[in-house]
């Protein structure tokens, strides 16, 4: 049956293209004149076709003229009914690549509601644009933004940063905005401006195998047909959800700024009410560490679900307290996606090219040897001095590698027109921010300006502790041999006490899922995204159970010899299947 489904799936692309062609021809022949007067055809952000009746201000998924057919018999666009070689019907959605046995009727479609779009999160009921709405006029710094406008900006951003689009096209699953990235790459190719280079492609030989391990590029084992209860893991998040995450991101930055002001106030006025330096620092430090841990997690969530911020100014607030010099947001996105393109398997670092995070693994790569325990304790300090993605040392490492040199070894012209200005503006913002902290700790406390260094040092120290702790968990623990061997001992990954403790330290069990299922994340970093991101919208338990089931089926399709990580995954699968 599996081979039959694979054969049917292989034909569905051609069938989908033919169906789209026929639909386009039908649209050309009949156009919108075929609709009754006052009706308009539209599409939701999720790709569903619906119809607006301007006469009575109502909406419906059923095309006018088909109302005499039972609603449940009308197959909603873009779903298609296909047949296996045995003649059994199944249903395929070309927008999401989901296949299922169950017929998708209009009763399963999201509810349509009238009115304007808002920035509210709407995971279950996508909002319907108001009829005949005029385009809103907003500036880059406007605090009001509609989901439709944000969606429109995404395509423009991928065209502007076509390097990212090219990088995502080389990813195992094409990225979370695969359609926009593909369109941007095709547009650049049409102009003869397609981006290439070692940082944007996989490092493979003529047979498309890794030069390091000689393994072929593995294929993510995405369920086919897609079970209805797992579809939420592979479904693209909505524009409203993207904006919601950026609102949370902005809130964290504001809270960090307020915590610095609180520290200043405690040092200034605390002694008069019995709060000394030690207590003031402990209050400030505890809050700042917790905020910086959340900063790293929301950064990771946003990279894999809402890459581009709704507003230009949000590019500057993503991680300014991490270090005095750091990568701009767009560089962070590029280097992190490069990491995923280089390291599919958690324990084969840099298998398909240079991995920017490689130097973060150096101190732990020999953890199975006794002398590993002499270097592993240095990992948090290595992050603290700036070796993590948001640190100053890491920034210089990445800047030496990207962008690739142009023809003849010359600098890529995009370096001067795009990347250098972006980096200069980011560093200028950091100087202003830390300069303000310096002034607050000197003149703001009635001291000479030369004494502001102490206040800056204390603020930076606790910020670095928070960022270092979070990156140590996300980067080093998740990619360590010891941790993955430990996870293999319990395929259900359910330890009540550990769950409770880590949920408290990391800010929720949806965050802890990132530690438990980072291998699932690496299988589909674009389509699935981050575990904590999915948990935010669907609940940690639902994500946890879905990941267990995905693991049981195996993460990769490959004919090569099993890697150590795949052996761990097979062990989990065997244990899970034996329990059924």
3-state secondary structure 149-201: HHHHHHHHHHHHCHHHHHHHHCCCCCCCCHHHHHHHHHHHHHCCCCCCCCCCC
Cα 74 from Cα 96, distance rounded (Å): 19
Cα 147 from Cα 118, distance rounded (Å): 7
Residues 473-485: tens digit of each pLDDT = 899 988 888 888 8
pLDDT at residue number 443: 96
pLDDT at residue number 15: 55
Residue 429 pLDDT > 70:
yes
Query: Which residues on adjacent β-strands are paired with residue 420?
Result: none
Cite the DSSP H helix spans in 304-378. 329-342, 358-361, 372-375
- Supply the angle between the helices 239-269 and 277-303 in degrees, to the nearest 10: 170
Residues 149-161: tens digit of each pLDDT = 666 677 788 888 8
Domain ranges of the chain: 1-21+51-62+75-108, 237-488
83 in helix, strand or coil? strand
Q: How many H-runs (helices) and E-runs (strands) does the chain carry?
A: 22, 8
- % of the chain exceeding 70 in pLDDT: 73
Mean pLDDT of 332-337: 94
Cis-peptide, bond into residue 119, ω within 30° of zero: no
pLDDT at residue number 464: 98
Long-range contacts of 243-246 (CB under 8 A, 24+ apart): 243/119, 243/145, 243/147, 243/150, 243/306, 243/310, 244/119, 244/120, 244/121, 245/298, 245/301, 245/302, 245/305, 245/306, 245/533, 245/536, 246/302, 246/306, 246/309, 246/310, 246/314
Higher-confidence residue: 296 or 199?
A: 296
Cα 69 from Cα 58, distance rounded (Å): 19
Burial of residue 257 (CB within 10 Å: 0-12, 13-18, 19+) is: middle
Q: Phi/psi at 278 (nearest 5 deg)?
A: -60, -45
Residue 146 pLDDT > 70:
no
Residues 360-373: tens digit of each pLDDT = 887 877 655 666 67
* 392 and 381 Cβ atoms separated by less than 8 Å: no
Cα 80 from Cα 363, distance rounded (Å): 52
Residue 507 pLDDT > 80:
yes
Cα 222 from Cα 21, distance rounded (Å): 27
Q: What average pLDDT does the structure give for the chain?
A: 79
Cα 259 from Cα 269, distance rounded (Å): 15
Residues 376-410: tens digit of each pLDDT = 888 999 999 999 999 999 999 999 999 987 666 66
3-state secondary structure 277-311: HHHHHHHHHHHHHHHHHHHHHHHHHHHCCCCCCCC
Cα 34 from Cα 2, distance rounded (Å): 42
User: Cα 213 from chain centroid?
Assistant: 28
Cis-peptide, bond into residue 225, ω within 30° of zero: yes
User: Cα 4 from chain centroid?
Assistant: 33
Residues 530-562: tens digit of each pLDDT = 999 899 888 888 998 898 888 888 888 888 888
* Ramachandran assignment for 350, one of left (phi > 0), alpha (psi -120 to 50 degrees), beta (any other): left
Higher-confidence residue: 528 or 176?
A: 528
Residue 40: DSSP 8-state: E
* 83 and 72 Cβ atoms separated by less than 8 Å: no
* 21-51: burial string, b at 16+ Cβ within 10 Å, e else: eeeeeeeeeeeeeebeeebebeebbeebebb
Residues 259-294: tens digit of each pLDDT = 999 999 999 999 999 999 999 999 999 999 999 999
Residues 33-58: tens digit of each pLDDT = 467 877 888 776 555 667 777 776 66
* 270-298: burial string, b at 16+ Cβ within 10 Å, e else: beeeeeeeeebbebbbebbbbbbbbbbbb
* 136 and 149 Cβ atoms separated by less than 8 Å: yes
Mean pLDDT of 406-427: 84
Mean pLDDT of 170-179: 73
Residue 125 pLDDT > 60:
no
Closest residue by Cα to residue 61 from 24, 136, 126, 112 = 112
* 430 and 436 Cβ atoms separated by less than 8 Å: no
Closest residue by Cα to residue 495 from 512, 476, 473 = 512
Residues 215-256: tens digit of each pLDDT = 998 889 988 888 888 888 988 887 888 888 999 999 999 999
pLDDT at residue number 3: 47
Higher-confidence residue: 310 or 73?
A: 310
pLDDT at residue number 303: 93
Domain 1-21+51-62+75-108 matching CATH 3.40.30.10: the answer reads: no
Query: Which residues on adjacent β-strands are paired with residue 59?
Result: 52
pLDDT at residue number 462: 98
Residues 487-498: tens digit of each pLDDT = 877 655 567 777
Tokens 């607006």 locate to: 52
Residue 175 pLDDT > 60:
yes
Cite the DSSP H helix spans in 384-523. 392-399, 413-414, 420-441, 452-471, 481-487, 496-506, 509-516, 518-523
Mean pLDDT of 439-451: 96
Residues 340-355: tens digit of each pLDDT = 999 988 888 899 999 9
């Amino acid at each position: 049956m599996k081979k039959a489904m694979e054969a049917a799936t292989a034909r569905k692309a051609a069938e989908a293209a033919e169906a789209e062609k026929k639909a386009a021809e039908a649209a050309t022949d009949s156009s919108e004149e075929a609709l009754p007067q006052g009706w308009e055809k539209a599409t939701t952000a999720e790709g569903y076709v619906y119809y607006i009746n301007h006469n009575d201000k109502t909406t419906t998924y059923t095309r006018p003229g088909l109302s005499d057919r039972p609603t449940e018999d009308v197959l909603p666009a873009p779903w298609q009914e296909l047949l296996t070689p045995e003649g059994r019907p199944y249903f395929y959605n070309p927008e999401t690549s989901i296949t299922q046995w169950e017929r998708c009727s209009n009763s399963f479609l999201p509810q349509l509601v009238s009115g304007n779009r808002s920035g509210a999160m709407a995971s279950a009921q996508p909002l319907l644009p108001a009829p005949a709405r005029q385009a809103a006029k907003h500036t880059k710094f406007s605090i009001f933004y509609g989901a439709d406008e944000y969606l429109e900006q995404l395509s423009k951003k991928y065209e502007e940063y076509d390097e990212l689009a090219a990088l995502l096209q080389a990813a195992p699953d094409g990225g979370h905005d695969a359609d926009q990235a593909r369109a941007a790459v095709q547009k650049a190719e049409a102009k003869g401006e397609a981006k290439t280079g070692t940082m944007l492609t996989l490092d493979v030989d003529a047979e498309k195998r890794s030069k390091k391990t000689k393994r072929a590029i593995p294929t993510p084992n995405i369920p086919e047909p897609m079970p209805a209860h797992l579809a939420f893991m592979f479904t693209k998040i909505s524009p409203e959800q993207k904006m919601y995450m950026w609102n949370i991101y902005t809130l964290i930055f504001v809270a960090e700024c307020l915590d610095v002001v609180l520290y200043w106030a405690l040092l200034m006025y605390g002694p008069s009410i019995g709060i000394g330096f030690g207590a003031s620092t402990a209050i400030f430090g505890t809050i700042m560490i917790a905020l910086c841990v959340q900063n790293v997690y929301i950064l990771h969530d946003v990279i894999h679900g809402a890459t581009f911020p709704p507003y230009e100014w949000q590019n500057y607030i993503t991680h300014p307290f991490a270090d005095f010099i750091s990568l701009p947001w767009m560089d962070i996105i590029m280097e992190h996606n490069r990491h995923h393109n280089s390291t599919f398997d958690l324990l084969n670092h840099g298998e398909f090219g240079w991995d920017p995070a490689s130097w973060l693994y150096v101190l732990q790569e020999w953890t199975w040897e006794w002398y590993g325990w002499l270097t592993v304790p240095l990992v948090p300090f290595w992050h603290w001095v700036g070796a993590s993605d948001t640190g100053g040392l890491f920034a210089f490492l990445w800047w030496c590698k990207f962008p690739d040199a142009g023809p003849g070894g010359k600098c890529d012209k995009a370096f001067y027109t795009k990347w250098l200005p972006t980096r200069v503006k980011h560093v200028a913002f950091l100087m202003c921010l830390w300069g303000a902290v310096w002034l607050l700790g000197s003149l703001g406390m009635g001291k000479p300006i030369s004494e502001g260094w102490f206040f800056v040092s204390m603020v930076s120290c606790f910020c670095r502790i928070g960022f270092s702790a979070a990156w140590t968990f996300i980067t080093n623990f998740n990619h360590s041999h010891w941790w993955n061997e430990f996870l293999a001992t319990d395929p259900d990954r359910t330890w009540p006490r550990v769950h409770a403790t880590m949920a408290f330290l990391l800010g929720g069990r949806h965050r802890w899922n990132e530690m438990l299922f980072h291998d699932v994340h690496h299988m589909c970093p674009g389509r699935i995204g981050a575990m904590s991101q999915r948990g935010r919208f669907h609940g940690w338990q639902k994500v946890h159970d879905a990941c267990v089931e995905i693991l049981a089926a195996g993460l990769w399709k490959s004919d090569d010899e099993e890697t150590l990580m795949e052996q761990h995954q097979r062990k989990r699968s065997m244990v899970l299947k034996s329990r059924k």
